[in-house]
Amino acid sequence: MLYDDTEFVQTVQRIIEFLGTFAFAISGIRHAAAKNFDWFGGFVCGVAVAIGGGTIRDVMLGVVPFWMTNPFYLICTALAQVFVIALARSLKKLDNAWFVFDTLGLALFTIAGLQKTLDCGYPFWVAIIMGCITGSAGGVIRDILLNKEPVIFRKEIYAMASIGGGILYWLLGILQVNVGIATFTSFSLICIIRFLAMKYHISLPKLHEE
What average pLDDT does the segment 94-104 reach? 74
CA-to-CA separations, 191 to 25, 70, 104, in angstroms, rounded: 18, 28, 7
Q: How many alpha carbons fall within 13 Å on the CB side of residue 19? A: 16
CA distance 28 to 47: 8
Summarised one tens digit per residue, pLDDT across range 45-60 is: 999 999 999 999 999 9
pLDDT at residue 34 tops 50: yes
pTM, entire model: 0.87
**99 or 12, higher pLDDT:** 99
What average pLDDT does the segment 128-138 reach? 95
Name the burial class of residue 1, with classes exposed (0-12), middle (13-18) and buried (19+) by CB atoms within 10 angstroms of its CB. Answer: exposed
Summarised one tens digit per residue, pLDDT across range 171-208 is: 999 999 988 899 899 999 999 999 999 889 888 888 88
Task: Give pLDDT, residue 125.
Answer: 96
Name the burial class of residue 141, with classes exposed (0-12), middle (13-18) and buried (19+) by CB atoms within 10 angstroms of its CB. Answer: buried
CB 38, CB 15: distance < 8 Å:
no
Summarised one tens digit per residue, pLDDT across range 6-23 is: 677 667 767 777 777 888
Alpha helices in 69-178 (DSSP H): 72-86, 88-92, 97-119, 124-145, 159-174
Summarised one tens digit per residue, pLDDT across range 59-94 is: 999 999 988 998 988 999 999 999 988 887 776 666
Of the ranges 103-112, 128-137, 152-161, the best mean pLDDT one? 128-137
pLDDT at residue 1 tops 50: no
CB 119, CB 130: distance < 8 Å:
no
pLDDT at residue 121 tops 90: yes
**144 or 94, higher pLDDT:** 144
CA-to-CA separations, 127 to 85, 119, 167, 184, 200, in angstroms, rounded: 36, 10, 10, 17, 30
Confidence of residue 97 (pLDDT cuts 50, 70, 90): low
| Residue partners of 172: CB distance under 8 A and separation at least 6 | 2, 181, 182, 185, 186
